[in-house]
C-alpha cells in the first residue's frame, strides 16, 4: 500500500514532525511544551469512565445503537448487534478520544497544537477497524457470500490503483468533458499560453450590457461551475441574462513551468477583462472569483486600481481567502522549512504535480475521500459509482513552481496580501483597500478549505461596500447549490456595523436565515450593476476576437500525467 499512498513532501514532513513533537510533549521535552497534569488527569479519568461503560454495554449492545449509526463507518448491524464488534468499536473510539485529549493536554501554542491534532486525527482515522478486512464485518460477510469473489475483485482494483498511483473515487469512464459535463454552448474567443477565454451563448433575447467574467481556481478545472445543465452555475447566470465569459486555465507543463503570479494577473485576469470589454463594447465588467481564483482576481483588481483604471463594476468572491490568519487545516502543511524546500526545488522553474495537491485535499476529509473508497474498492471489491462532482475532483491540475511557491510564502506563510503596499505585483504596490467597487462575499459554514470566519475577514480589507453571505454546507456543495433544486439555506443581513475582521460571530448573531440557495440572492444583488439591458448578440466573439473552437475548448481537456 505504500505506493498507493505516496505522500507529498509536505505530508511526509508533517507526519514525521508531528510524531516527534507528540513524543517530546509526552516526555516533557522541551519543558515549555510539557503536558498539563490537570488536563492529562481529566483525559485519563474520562477514558476509564468510557472503558467501564463499554464493558457494561456488552451486556446490552443495542443501548449504543443509535449513537453508533450516526457515524457512517459503523452503520452495519454487527457494530451494535454483535458483542465483539460492539466492544471493538467502542474501544477504538475511546482510544482515539484519549489520543486527542492527550494532544489537548500538551503545552504547545495553538498553531502547533492544531498541526499535531490534525496528524493525530489522520492516524486515528487510519486505525479504524472498518478499514481492515479482518475487522470489517461487511467485508467478511461479502467474502463468505461470494465465495471469495469480492476479495479477488478487490485485489484487482488495488492492483489497478497502484498502477495509476491514486485511489479511484468514481467511474471516470461515465463522463467526458464536453460530452456530459461542461456542455453549456459557447466558444473559445481568445487563447494564449496561460488560458483560454470562453464566451457562452445567450439563452434569451436580451442580456445585461456589462458582461460577467468568471475566474475559477487554477488548482482545479473550471467545469465545477458547469457540470451538467441542472447544476450549472454558468447556465444559471446565462439564463438570468448575463453574458458570461469564463477563464479556462491551461494545465501547466514544461512549456509553462516558469509562469509567475504576476503572469496570472497580467496575462490572465487583466487580459480577460480587456477582451470581454472589447467584445461587448461595455464600459465595465462584473467579476466572480472562486477560492484561489478569487485571490488572483482580487490581486488583479488591486493592480488595476493602483494604475487608476476603472474597468470593473462589481466583485463577487466565492469561498475566498484574502487574509490568511487562519488558513484552516491546510495551514498544517505549511511552515518555513517546507516552503523553503519547495522554493529550492521548483521556485525558479518546475511543476508541482496536481496529483500531489489532490492527495493533500483528500487528507483534509479522509473519512469522506480516502477510507470509504479503500473499503468499497478493495475490501468489498466494488467499483465506485458515477458521480460528476467526484469526476471533477479527480481531474487534477498542475501548478507552475514559481507561481505556487510565491503564493505559499506570501499568502499562507507570511500573510502579506492583507498589509497595504507590502506586496508589489506587476510593478505596483497593491492595497486591497483600493478595491472600491461593491463586493459580494460568500462563505460556507462547513468549509474545510476556507474557514468561513477567514472569508469574513475580506469585508474588513476591501474598500467598497460589501455584502457578506454565509451559505450552508461546505466548500463545494455550499457553492454548487443550484436554483433548480433550491435546497439548504443561507444567512444574510447581519449587522453591517460589525464589519471588523474579529467580529464574524457578531455578524452571525444578528443575521437572518433564509431558505434555499444563495444563487437567487446573488443574482438580485448583481442586477443593479448590470449597466442596463441590450439586445443579445447573435454571434460570439468579434471581428478582432473570432471564435477559435467550441466550448469547453482544448485546455480543459488536458489531464495531468
The per-residue pLDDT for 1 is: 32
Residue in 143, 150, 141 with CA at minimum distance from that of residue 378: 150
Number of separate helices (H) and strands (E) present in the chain: 21, 17
> What does the block give as the cell for 334?
505549511
Residue in 192, 363, 157 with CA at minimum distance from that of residue 268: 192
110 CB-near residues (< 8 Å, 6+ apart): none
Buried-exposed string 133-164: b where 16+ CB fall within 10 A, e elsewhere? eebbbbbbebbeeeeeebbebbeebbeebeee
What does the alpha-carbon distance between residue 250 and residue 264 come to, in Å, rounded to a whole number? 11
23 CB-near residues (< 8 Å, 6+ apart): none
Residue in 364, 321, 395 with CA at minimum distance from that of residue 166: 395
Are 33 and 116 in contact by the 8 Å Cβ rule? The answer is no
Flag residues of the chain having pLDDT under 70: 1-69, 496-502, 561
The per-residue pLDDT for 555 is: 98
Q: Known catalytic residues?
A: 291
Within the chain, which residue ranges are assigned CATH 3.40.50.1820?
186-322+416-557
> What does the block give as the cell for 65?
445503537
The per-residue pLDDT for 2 is: 32
Q: Is the dihedral of CA 234, 528, 542, 220 positive or negative?
A: negative
Residue in 483, 482, 481, 510 with CA at minimum distance from that of residue 495: 510
Query: SS3 breakdown of the chain: % helix, strand, coil, rounded to 5?
Result: 50, 15, 35
pTM for the full model? 0.88
Are 248 and 553 in contact by the 8 Å Cβ rule? The answer is yes
3-class state of residue 300 by DSSP: helix
HEC readout, 447-462? CCCCCHHHHHHHHHCC
Residue in 2, 1, 3, 5 with CA at minimum distance from that of residue 363: 5
* E strand or H helix that includes residue 196: strand 195-200
* E strand or H helix that includes residue 512: strand 512-515
CB under 8 A, 24+ apart: contacts of 326-329: 326/451, 326/453, 326/454, 327/412, 327/451, 327/454, 328/447, 328/448, 328/449, 328/450, 328/451, 328/454, 329/114, 329/118, 329/364, 329/448
Name the residue with cell 505522500: 7
The per-residue pLDDT for 206 is: 96
The per-residue pLDDT for 494 is: 79
3-class state of residue 444 by DSSP: strand
Look up the CATH superfamily of 186-322+416-557. Answer: Alpha/Beta hydrolase fold, catalytic domain (3.40.50.1820)
The per-residue pLDDT for 164 is: 86
Amino acid at each position: 500500500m505504500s505506493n498507493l499512498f505516496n505522500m507529498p513532501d509536505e505530508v511526509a514532513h508533517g507526519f514525521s514532525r508531528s510524531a516527534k513533537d507528540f513524543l517530546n510533549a509526552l516526555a516533557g521535552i522541551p519543558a515549555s511544551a510539557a503536558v498539563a497534569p490537570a488536563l492529562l488527569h481529566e483525559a485519563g479519568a474520562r477514558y476509564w469512565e468510557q472503558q467501564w461503560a463499554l464493558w457494561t454495554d456488552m451486556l446490552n449492545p443495542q443501548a449504543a445503537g443509535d449513537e453508533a449509526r450516526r457515524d457512517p463507518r459503523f452503520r452495519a448491524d454487527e457494530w451494535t448487534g454483535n458483542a465483539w464488534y460492539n466492544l471493538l468499536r467502542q474501544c477504538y473510539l475511546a482510544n482515539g478520544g484519549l489520543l486527542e485529549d492527550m494532544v489537548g493536554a500538551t503545552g504547545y501554542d495553538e498553531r502547533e497544537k492544531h498541526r499535531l491534532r490534525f496528524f493525530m486525527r489522520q492516524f486515528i482515522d487510519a486505525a479504524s477497524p472498518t478499514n481492515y478486512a479482518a475487522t470489517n464485518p461487511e467485508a467478511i460477510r461479502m467474502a463468505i457470500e461470494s465465495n471469495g469473489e469480492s476479495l479477488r475483485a478487490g485485489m484487482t482494483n488495488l492492483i489497478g490503483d497502484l498502477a495509476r498511483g491514486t485511489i479511484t473515487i468514481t467511474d471516470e469512464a461515465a463522463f467526458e468533458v464536453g460530452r456530459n459535463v461542461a456542455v453549456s454552448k459557447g466558444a473559445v474567443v481568445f487563447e494564449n499560453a496561460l488560458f483560454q477565454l470562453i464566451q457562452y451563448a445567450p439563452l434569451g433575447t436580451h442580456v445585461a450590457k456589462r458582461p460577467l467574467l468568471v475566474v475559477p481556481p487554477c488548482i482545479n478545472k473550471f467545469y465545477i461551475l458547469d457540470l451538467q445543465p441542472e447544476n450549472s452555475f454558468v447556465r444559471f447566470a446565462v439564463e438570468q441574462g448575463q453574458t458570461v465569459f469564463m477563464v479556462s486555465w491551461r494545465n501547466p507543463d514544461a512549456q509553462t513551468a516558469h509562469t509567475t503570479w504576476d503572469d496570472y494577473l497580467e496575462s490572465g485576469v487583466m487580459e480577460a477583462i480587456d477582451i470581454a470589454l472589447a467584445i461587448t463594447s461595455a464600459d465595465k465588467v462584473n467579476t466572480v472569483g472562486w477560492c484561489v481564483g478569487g485571490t488572483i482576481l482580487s490581486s488583479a483588481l488591486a493592480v488595476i486600481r493602483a494604475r487608476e483604471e476603472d474597468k470593473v463594476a462589481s466583485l463577487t468572491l466565492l469561498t475566498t481567502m484574502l487574509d490568511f490568519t487562519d488558513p484552516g487545516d491546510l495551514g498544517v502543511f505549511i511552515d518555513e522549512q517546507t516552503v523553503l524546500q519547495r522554493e529550492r526545488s521548483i521556485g525558479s522553474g518546475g511543476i508541482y504535480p496536481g496529483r500531489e495537491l489532490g492527495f493533500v485535499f483528500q487528507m483534509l476529509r479522509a473519512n469522506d475521500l480516502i477510507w470509504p473508497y479503500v473499503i468499497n474498492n478493495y475490501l468489498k471489491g466494488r467499483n465506485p459509482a458515477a458521480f460528476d462532482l467526484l469526476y471533477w475532483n479527480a481531474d487534477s491540475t498542475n501548478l507552475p513552481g514559481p507561481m505556487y511557491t510565491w503564493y505559499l510564502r506570501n499568502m499562507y506563510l507570511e500573510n502579506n496580501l492583507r498589509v497595504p503596499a507590502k506586496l508589489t505585483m506587476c510593478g505596483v504596490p497593491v492595497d486591497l483597500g483600493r478595491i472600491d467597487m461593491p463586493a459580494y462575499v460568500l462563505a460556507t459554514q462547513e468549509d474545510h478549505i476556507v474557514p468561513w470566519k477567514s472569508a469574513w475577514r475580506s469585508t474588513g480589507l476591501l474598500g467598497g461596500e460589501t455584502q457578506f453571505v454565509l451559505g450552508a454546507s461546505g466548500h463545494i456543495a455550499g457553492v454548487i447549490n443550484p436554483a433548480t433544486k433550491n435546497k439548504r439555506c443561507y444567512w444574510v443581513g447581519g449587522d453591517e456595523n460589525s464589519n471588523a475582521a474579529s467580529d464574524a460571530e457578531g455578524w452571525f448573531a444578528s443575521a437572518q436565515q433564509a431558505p434555499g440557495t444563495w444563487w437567487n440572492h446573488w443574482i438580485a444583488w448583481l442586477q443593479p450593476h448590470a449597466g442596463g439591458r441590450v439586445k443579445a448578440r447573435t454571434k460570439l466573439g468579434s471581428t478582432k476576437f473570432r471564435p477559435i473552437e467550441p466550448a469547453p475548448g482544448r485546455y480543459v481537456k488536458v489531464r495531468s500525467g
